[in-house]
Structure formats: structure tokens, C-alpha cells
Amino acid sequence: MARKKLQNSKKVSRKKSVPAKRKALRRAPLSAKKQKKPVSKKRKILDKSSVNPILAPNPEHEWEAWQVFNPGVILLADSTHFMYRAIGTDGISRFGYAASQDGFHIAERLPYPAYEHKTKHKTFNVFSYSSGGSFSGAEDPRLTRVGAEKVLYMTYTACDEGLRMALTSIAVDDFLAHRWKWKPPVFLSPPDEVHKNWVIFPEKIRGRYAILHNLTPDVEIAYVDDLLFDDNRYIRSNYMPTTRKNCWDGRIRGVGAPPLKTKYGWLVLYHAMENDDFSKYKVGAMILDEDDPTRVLHRSPVPVLEPSEPYEHTGYKGGVVYVTGVVEKNGTLFIYYGAADSTVGVACAPLETFLSALMRGEKPAVLTTTITKKK
């Protein structure tokens, strides 16, 4: 998932054979029942649901038969709504829709894509393939509602002549009614640069929209009066990953979910690797100042989420947990993530306890109750 300058790529016919790794995944779709194991009573940083993975590939639908992961998530009308990344038999990455009433069990899942990025050139994208396994399309949606606006914004990575940050939007009423009247996408990042993991704050800061586009390790935020971007207006981001010494997050990759406002500041989760282990993606947490979110007030001394379960080590890219959605409901923090770039999992904790431990520089406490699967 490294960001590099765009290089030439060669065309790939859909009739050609897919990589061996994909063939294996297609022959043996991931199964939640096969991979589920009893929840350990050992104290963990976050409590991973015993029903994980909550979303998995569906071989009955070609467009989501290979991989389902990295969902954008938002809480609306007391339900949790997902726009998840799906890769099908044609190698194209699209977004599907699902919803849950309790945050754990999927109550609704549409059989068709809810969003597809129309690429200008139907060519094999080497950056897209290394960033999750698709040939082209759209990656890693993040959903944000700014204040009480009647619009949902969705940022995502567009696999269009490289990897660029794109933005689209939809009316809240249309989203809830499944009328997929998305606005034509615009690019936030300039051409010929590779960028990922940009998120919009759910409130204006000092009267302006705020877009978090970099934290490697400095937090960089673009403040804009509107979100009307075009081919003459981009956000310049100085993504230069550096090595942090004597800490677990030696190499920070980028922000995870859009910031969650708390009484202590903005809670932000992010992806990082340890300096002596680049094979695993782990998740850290920080609290940013409410009025000046470039100021980091607190940072987790250890990962708050890391790969430990079979479904997080078995899939297209084992050893990866990739957070793209966070919601708070009735005092509980729900963290949604892609597991091994192949399924979707959820972890949770009491929000107040989680934040208190984070501010004390301790491991956040977890729920002790086991979540059982509905029959």
C-alpha cells in the first residue's frame, strides 16, 4: 500500500487467468463458521466479536465473490450503515451496502453494488493490485456527515491512473431509501501522485470544513470553505513516511476512520507498523485537540487492535487489520475493520473507559461479555 509516483502499467484482458492467490480464494471462499473460535477470557485491548467476520465474500454474487473488506460506516436512524469494498470475479473494486441494528449482526445486505467508480481507462492498475488486490475501481470508503447537513460525504481512493483521493456525496434521504443518486466524483488530490486515507471531520472547525490528509507523524489538515473541488483545485499533501524510534508505531501509514468527537477531543485511529515487523498492520489511537486538531494530546503506548484471530491471518493479505469505520452507540465504541483484506470484523469497548485508559497511557479496557451468534 505504499505511495509512489505513477509508473506505466500494461493492459490486462479479463479473459486471462487470474493470479494463483485469487484462484485459491475463489475455490475456497472465506466462511465465518469455519473460522470462528471461542472468545478467550484473557483480557485484550479490544473485545472482538465472537460473530466475526460479520461480512464475508458472497460467491452467489460475482461482483463480491472474492473479497469484502474496509467498510465506511455511519450511524443514521439508530442503525449502523456500511459501504464496504468488494472485489469480484472481474477484478474490479466496487462498494456494496449493508446495515445492522445492533452493530454486530447484518440485518440487510443488497445483492447489487451501491457505488462504482467509472475509470477513464480500463487498464490494470499496479498500485490498486498492491493495495488490496483489485485491477481497478474504488477503494476504502469513509462516510461522514458534517453537523446536521442533509448530505453524506464519501471519500475514497480512486484507482484511476494511479491512486487518487476522490470525493462524492449523496442526500441523506436518498441514502436511507437506497436511491443511489451519488454526485459525480471530484478529485481532492492532484494527478500523478499516489494518496490514500483522507477523511473529513464530522463538524466544521472555526467555520470551515476540515480534511485530515496526513499524520506521518505530523498531523496535517486542510481547511476549506466548501467541498466543491475541480481540475484546478487540489489539496497538496506532503506524505513522507518517517521512522519513529523507540515506539511500537515506527512507521505510520495513515488515518483509519473519520475522527470521532468526544468530550476530551477528537478520537482518531490510525494504521501503523512496528520497525521490526512490517508484515502486520496494527492500529493505534490518539486524541487531538478539539480546536486545533494538529495538536496530539494523547497517543496509545501500544496497539489498540492487532491481528490475532484466524480470519485476520487467512485471506488475500494475512496479518492486516485495517480500520475504516468507527461509531459510538449508547456509550459503546464500535470499531469496524477489514481483516486480511478479505472480510469485515468489529471490535468494541466502553467508550469512557477506553478514553480514560488512553489518556492515562494504559491499555484501554474491554468488554467482558461474550456476544453470541443469533440462530
pLDDT recorded at residue 118: 85
Total-model pTM: 0.86
The average confidence (pLDDT) of the chain is: 85
CA dist., res. 274 & res. 366, Å (int): 23
The domain 39-360 having CATH identifier 2.40.50.140: the answer here is no
Q: CA-CA distance, 333 to 146, in Å (whole number)?
A: 20
Q: 266: part of which helix (H) or strand (E)?
A: strand 265-274
Looking at residue 127, its pLDDT comes to 64
pLDDT at 52 over 70: yes
120: nearest Cα among 83, 162, 62, 154: 162
Q: Is 97 helix (H, G, I), strand (E, B) or coil?
A: strand
Instruction: Write out the three cell numbers for 200.
Output: 473529513
Q: pLDDT of 8-31, one tens digit each?
A: 333 333 333 444 444 444 333 443
Which stretch of 13-27, 50-64, 194-208, 353-367 has the lowest confidence by average pLDDT?
13-27
Where is pLDDT greater, at 215 or 5?
215
User: Mind listing the pLDDT tens digit for each residue in 320-345?
Assistant: 999 999 999 999 999 999 999 999 99
Q: Tell me: pLDDT of 80 over 50.
A: yes
Average pLDDT over residues 287-295: 97
Asked if pLDDT for residue 134 goes beyond 90, the answer is no
Tell me if 345 sits within 8 A of 49, measured CB to CB. yes
Among 33-37, 42-46, 70-74, 283-287, name the one with the lowest average pLDDT.
Answer: 33-37
Phi-psi group of 317: left, alpha or beta (phi > 0 → left; psi -120 to 50 → alpha; rest → beta): beta
* pLDDT tier, 100 (very low <50, low <70, confident <90, very high otherwise): very high
User: In the numeric block, which cell numbers belong to residue 40?
Assistant: 478467550
Cis peptide before 53 (omega within 30 of 0): yes
- Indicate whether 40 pLDDT > 60: no
Q: Of all residues in the chain, what percent are helix, strand and coil, respectively (each to 5)?
A: 10, 40, 50
pLDDT at 261: 98
Residues paired with 205 in a beta bridge: 208
CB 351 within 8 A of CB 331: yes
